[in-house]
Chains A and B, each alone.
Chain A
Amino acid sequence: MATFELELVSPEKLLLSRPVEMVIIPAAEGDMGVLPGHVPMIVTLRGGVISVRENGQETERMFVRGGFAEVGPTRVTVLADTAVPVANLSRAEAERLIETAERDYQAAAANDTPEKREAAMNHLLAMRAMKDAAQAA
């Protein structure tokens, strides 16, 4: 089957760089499956799981907190804020993060601008997605 080059980088390291058949990206406006020959796009990510398929099977699952993805003619580059293999996620950690995120959101909801409130909400949603991913793993 046809493949394309996938690069997954976080600020701290290059996590993945190899040809794959398909990748599912948690874009801000909904999950997006990318196959070879996809139309060039630049999208933002929400918190969620990136899933990579090779040889007809799902080979990698990475949780990302947010970031950007560039779908080029021959290459897909994902710039993740943080990326963790789903297997390494811990549910307890996620719950703790949800708690702080909820508190931040309450604080933001009370006295910040709508943009800040939205940022806090997105963060909270990302943390919830992390918990779900941890639970599923």
Chain B
Amino acid sequence: MASLKALRTRINSVKSTRKITQAMKMVAAAKLRRAQAQAEAARPYAERMQRMLASLGASVTGNPDAPRLLVGTGADKVHLLVVVTADRGLAGPFNTNVGRFARARIRALEAEGKTVKILSVGRKGAAYLKREFASRFVGEITFAGKKRVGFEEAQDITARVSAMFEAGEFDVCALVYNRFRNVISQTPVEQRLIPAPLPEVAPAEGPAPIYEYEPSEEEILAQILPQNLAIQVYRALLDSAAGEQGSRMTAMDNATRNAGDMINKLTLNYNRTRQANITRELIEIISGAEAL
């Protein structure tokens, strides 16, 4: 049986752990609210962009000179995976889930004889995937030290992806990230970026208006596609940020609860030991007195 002193230190250490996890949970909850609000604010733009893209895209499909961002290179040989994870750990299964999902995807693609390249966003995913796929890495991006991700960060990532695409370094690009479903559930998903999937838009009531374009359709499309790319990346970043906080909140809530249980158990143990010691001492005194 552990000594009283050892138990006391143990209880104290678990108590301070509980304080930390509780504080982290609170912080995560506050950050989650902010991240959700940001994701909410980004939605109208993305929706309207999709609508505009749908009306533009329908007019150029089938056209052999359609922009390559929309139709791809025609090949399907080299895949670029942009894996979005968090920069920090202690977020439950958040980072491992994306990592595992990405690993399965990479294995599947390579089994089909395709070449895979990885661009990782966030420190944790990079660390996870590097163990196995270090040779496939083409870049790493982290936002460590940034308070929040803005649209500019998404544009940076997009700029890198487009530069690689223009240089012909890959044929197909997909994003792998945690989609935020609700606070307790985030699912890793893969979303294709290049060639851009055209959004399906439910036909609006009445005949669709016939638009005039200024400048030409092609030129507008050439500008709107990179922007759309940035928006998709931005959405993924926001989803991932909200998911990270949600996941951390759940994880820290569990940790706090576990610490509480452990403290109860240890305290019970401590009290029992103390009582046992007292009883033993009493017996010693009494039997000593009787022996006289």
Question: Which residues in A have some Cβ–Cβ distance to B below 8 Å?
Answer: 7, 9-14, 27-29, 39-44, 67-68, 70, 72-73, 77, 79, 81-82
Q: Which of B48, B151, B227, B230 contacts A12 (CB 8 A)?
A: B151
B223 touches A44 (CB 8 A): yes
Tell me which residues across on chain A come within 8 A of B20, comparing CB atoms: none
B211 to chain A: which residues have CB within 8 Å?
Answer: 40-42, 70
Closest residue of A by beta carbon distance from B210: A40
A13 and B39 CA atoms in complex are apart in Å by 9
Assess the B42–A42 pair: CB atoms within 8 A: no
Least CB distance, B69 to chain A, in whole angstroms? 14
Q: Are A68 and B220 in contact (CB under 8 A)?
A: yes
| Docked complex: B202-232 residues within 8 A CB-CB of A | 209-215, 219-220, 223-224, 227, 230-231
The residue on B at minimum CB distance from A14 is B44
A42 touches B55 (CB 8 A): yes
CB contacts (< 8 Å) of A68 on chain B: these are 52, 220, 223-224, 227
A45 to chain B, nearest CB (A): 10
User: Are B227 and A29 closer than 8 Å at their CB atoms?
Assistant: no
CA distance A73 to B151 in the complex (A): 30
Cα of A13 to Cα of B44 in the assembled complex, Å: 8
- 28 inter-chain pairs at a CB distance below 8 angstroms, sorted by A residue, are A7-B44, A7-B48, A9-B44, A9-B45, A10-B45, A11-B45, A11-B151, A11-B154, A11-B230, A12-B42, A12-B151, A13-B41, A14-B45, A40-B210, A40-B211, A41-B211, A42-B52, A42-B56, A42-B213, A43-B220, A44-B215, A44-B223, A68-B223, A68-B227, A70-B51, A73-B209, A79-B45, A82-B151
Contacts of A41 in B (CB 8 A): 211-214
What is the interface of chain B, defined by CB distance below 8 A to chain A? 38, 41-42, 44-46, 48-49, 51-52, 55-56, 150-151, 154, 209-215, 219-220, 223-224, 227, 230-231, 234
Q: How far is the CA of A106 from the CA of B213 in the complex (A)?
A: 31
A-B contact count (CB 8 A): 77
| Nearest CB in chain A: distance from B250 CB, A | 27
CB closest chain-A residue, reference B222: A115
A11: B residues at CB distance < 8 A: 42, 45-46, 151, 154, 230-231, 234
> How far does the Cβ of A14 sit from chain B's closest Cβ, in whole Å?
4
A89 to B184, CA, bound (A): 41
Beta-carbon contact of A28 and B48 below 8 Å: no
Q: Which residues of B contact A7 (CB under 8 A)?
A: 44, 48
Which among A28, A72, A77, A79 is the interface contact of B214 at CB below 8 angstroms?
A: A28
Given A9-B44, A14-B44, A42-B220; A79-B49 close (CB under 8 Å): yes
